[in-house]
Amino acid sequence: MLEKLKKFITNKNTVTIIGLLLIIGILYFVYNKQIKDATNPVNVPVAKSTIQPKTLITEDMIDTISVPAVAVKKNTITNRNNIIGKYSNYNTMIPEGSMFYTDTLITEDQLPDTALIEVKAGEILYNFPVTMESSYQNSIMPGSYVDIYMKAYNDDNVLMVGKLVENVKVLAVKTSDGLNVFENTSERRTPAFIFFGVNPEIHMLLRKASYMYNYSVVLFPVPQGMSYVSDGETRVSADELKEFINAHTVNVVENTVEDNTELETQYDEFGNVIEG
């Protein structure tokens, strides 16, 4: 029997069959393992409700569900502790029931202010106050262009109006609490400021005009493509308005010291600064 068994084992056909059976067995084992690994349920955190951009994520905003392992990608966050305390990305809304991914969450110090990012070199950010009415019922949006008009009474008490600044790009629209009006899709936010960048000369001009209370100066935006028309007002050009503003305000020029010579402040006997 041993001799017959030896001949059977050393037979080429037998070796081939045994080899094939082993290969089939290994393939079957590997295939079943892969199927099992892919279909085994995995617990992953998901959004309990829709999360708006730039929202601090807390424990009560997270739920846990069981999904097949194959549905979990490399960038899927499976540990809820890696989610709590993070913010939803500024350009991302996380839908209800959605899993959390590494590129949809950022830390607090990574939160950008779009208005600051988009200000061009050489320009200064200006926060222009608006209301629901002056923003045309919240129709002025980031990326749109507006003209800034001015109304005022001149020295003869004649009401005048004209376009002071034109073609400024709106970078952001925010509430009085500094929230971006158009980033939230679930709540109605009231605009309080529009932000845009202007060169230093225009920035100073707008600042001056905003403090000319004695002349009842009012600045208001008009979206491009629209025109401001009102009867009984004297229309003036931007140059006339600039001359009017500059004629009733003064620029404060900083004193400069030539040759790096330090100036010594002089005081009188009462401790008051002596001018000149």
User: Same structural domain for residues 185 and 158?
Assistant: yes
- Within 10 angstroms of residue 84's Cβ, the number of other Cβ atoms is 15
CA distance 96 to 86: 17
User: Same structural domain for residues 135 and 78?
Assistant: no
CA distance 156 to 159: 9
79 pLDDT higher than 90? yes
187, part of any domain: yes
Count of the separate structural domains present in the chain: 2
Say which residue the tokens 């609490």 belong to. 177
What tens digit of pLDDT does each residue of 200-228 get? 999 999 999 999 999 999 999 999 876 66
86, part of any domain: yes
Query: pLDDT-based confidence at 241, cuts 50/70/90?
Result: very high
- Given 60, 82, 110, the domain boundary residue is 110
- Greatest mean pLDDT range, 51-55, 67-71, 187-191, 200-204: 200-204
Residue pair 205/198 in contact by the 8 Å Cβ criterion: no
Query: pLDDT-based confidence at 9, cuts 50/70/90?
Result: low
| Cα 108 to chain centroid, rounded | 13
pTM, rounded to two decimals: 0.59
Longest dimension (CA), the chain: 130
Which structure tokens are listed for 197? Answer: 């960048």
Contacts of 89 (CB under 8 A, 6+ apart): 53, 54, 103, 104, 105, 106
User: Same structural domain for residues 89 and 131?
Assistant: no
271 pLDDT higher than 50? no
- 63 in helix, strand or coil? strand
- Within 10 angstroms of residue 127's Cβ, the number of other Cβ atoms is 13
- Given 86, 110, 134, the domain boundary residue is 110
